Structure 1
């Protein structure tokens, strides 16, 4: 992880990313959403990461150990759970997601777009490694290294077994006890 407090400010330069543009060409997330990087740890000396994302299914519940996260709803409507609190966020809403608290979000409307930022930066390093990992064990190790872990909430646990097993495999989550031996 890049240390935002010891960044070499003299090497940083201001920059602009055009509307619809990305400094890294954009990446397709597991949810099939396209993430356009507006700022990365590399471009900000570790200070922040900023992405414009067209939200579809959203993200499964997860926890950042080292990064606070903010979301600004550009268009559409976002459903979000932060810890035990649930929000219905229309366009123009801002949400703060403190580190070490489980959260998840999803699109309530087809045209939902958000601006997501983390501080300090570096979440894109995790995303790239996690997307490239080929096994659940690799994904779990990457999650541990970066301090970002996917968790199962009550809604996830209520999924049909096949869907739950696939979700666990994709995100490197251990199956809940008792499911390992289930038919």
Structure 2
């Protein structure tokens, strides 16, 4: 009988220990997910503020000039090739530095002919003028004329949190493109 109670006692202790470990794992997971949501919310708010500010600082007529005079992929190969490109590039680069953004900030233009976004001006020292944005989130196209944020999405370069805002011509109604700001989300997963 003592053997029975001893093994029952050990079984209860083992079950209690397993339960404590399980509950601890659940609490840790819930805490991690909660912190992840807070990080995501705060980051998207910051990115939205940056993209909105930049969109208001970029002259849409100047950006349209670039698109008209350099319509093909690779037409712009260095940042100081065109004074308008250089001016926008410097605004994007300064904003990235001031705001601690470690990935390039860039403008995008949607081409209805091939139904793809094409990169425009970038904060990167290496232009990727009119290169295609292959795996863009649908939300970019849906909100092309306004602004928005994109919760974690995966592209060919990783997983990202993004915010974007329309760049308008001087008539304040015609969007010529978007400015997009991203941060990598992979490292927080």
- Give the TM interval when normalised to the shorter protein: under 0.3
Normalising by structure 1, report the TM-score: 0.24
Structure with a larger share of its residues in helix: 2
Higher strand proportion: 1
The structure with the larger Rg is 2
Q: TM-score with structure 2 length normalisation?
A: 0.23
